């Protein structure tokens, strides 16, 4: 296992190690809110970051398991491809944005635009999410164990949203849908993988009404 103390070692050296010849386990100490920590990894390794991180931590992740033992700034796990990113605190804006695969787990709450334009990533949030979450989300799952802010799922495509608490309001073309046994099974798996002890029966499902897939002048006010 390699330890990188960012009070002593440049961030560039840490990311070069993670990109070029990473050890199986890496611990990052004193992150100090620095940006772009552990970005662009393409290796099946474990990275533990002992503290708070800034922008884009874990961005473009492939295969790695990254744990942030603190809060995360905007864009955590942005455009991740696979693997897992776990934030033990809260996450700021657009967590998991454009993610194509893998799982993002937030043990606290996430701010505005969580899961914006998600393209296959699974995002599980123990607390609340802010406004415009899952905006233009195309594929994947957003699980909210708390409450969701306004305009949830605005202009949604085929991503699936599960919310346990209250929803401020739904965005354009987003509607509540039936919770089928298949959806309960999927939700149960995501909750179990994330370590959250909730029953799928406590959640509601939201998805696209598919009214905005093609331009229709009768729907112009909704675009």
Give the angle subtended at the CA of 119 by the CAs of 104 and 223, to the nearest 5°.
120
Tell how many helices (H) and how many strands (E) occur in the chain: 2, 11
| pTM attached to this predicted model | 0.95
* pLDDT 10s digits, 99-112: 999 999 999 999 99
- Sort strands 139-144 and 2-5 into parallel, antiparallel or unpaired: unpaired
Residue of 136, 112, 107, 137 lying closest to 122 (CA atoms): 137
* pLDDT 10s digits, 121-174: 999 999 999 999 999 999 999 999 999 999 999 999 999 999 999 999 999 999
State how far the alpha carbon of 178 is from the alpha carbons of 131, 162, 163, 181, 191, in Å: 23, 11, 13, 10, 19
CA distance 38 to 56: 9
């Amino acid at each position: 296992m390699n330890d990188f103390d960012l009070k002593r070692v440049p961030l560039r050296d840490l990311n070069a190690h993670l990109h070029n010849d990473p050890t199986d386990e890496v611990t990052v100490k004193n992150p100090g809110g620095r940006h772009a920590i552990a970005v662009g990894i393409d290796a099946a390794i474990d990275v533990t970051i002992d503290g708070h991180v800034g922008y884009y931590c874990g961005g473009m992740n492939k295969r790695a398991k990254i744990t942030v033992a603190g809060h995360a700034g905007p864009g955590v796990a942005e455009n991740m491809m696979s693997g897992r990113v776990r934030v033990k605190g809260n996450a700021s804006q657009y967590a998991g944005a454009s993610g194509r695969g893998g799982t993002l787990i937030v043990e606290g709450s996430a701010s505005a635009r969580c899961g914006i334009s998600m393209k296959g990533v699974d995002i599980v949030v123990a607390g609340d999410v802010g406004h415009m979450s899952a905006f233009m989300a195309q594929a994947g799952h957003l699980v909210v164990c708390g409450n969701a802010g306004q305009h949830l799922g605005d202009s949604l495509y085929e991503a699936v949203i599960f919310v346990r608490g209250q929803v401020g309001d739904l965005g354009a073309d987003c509607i509540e849908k039936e919770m089928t046994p298949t959806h309960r099974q999927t939700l149960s798996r995501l909750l179990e993988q994330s370590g959250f002890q909730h029953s799928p029966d406590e959640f509601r499902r939201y998805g696209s009404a598919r009214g905005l897939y093609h331009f229709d002048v009768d729907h112009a006010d909704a675009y």
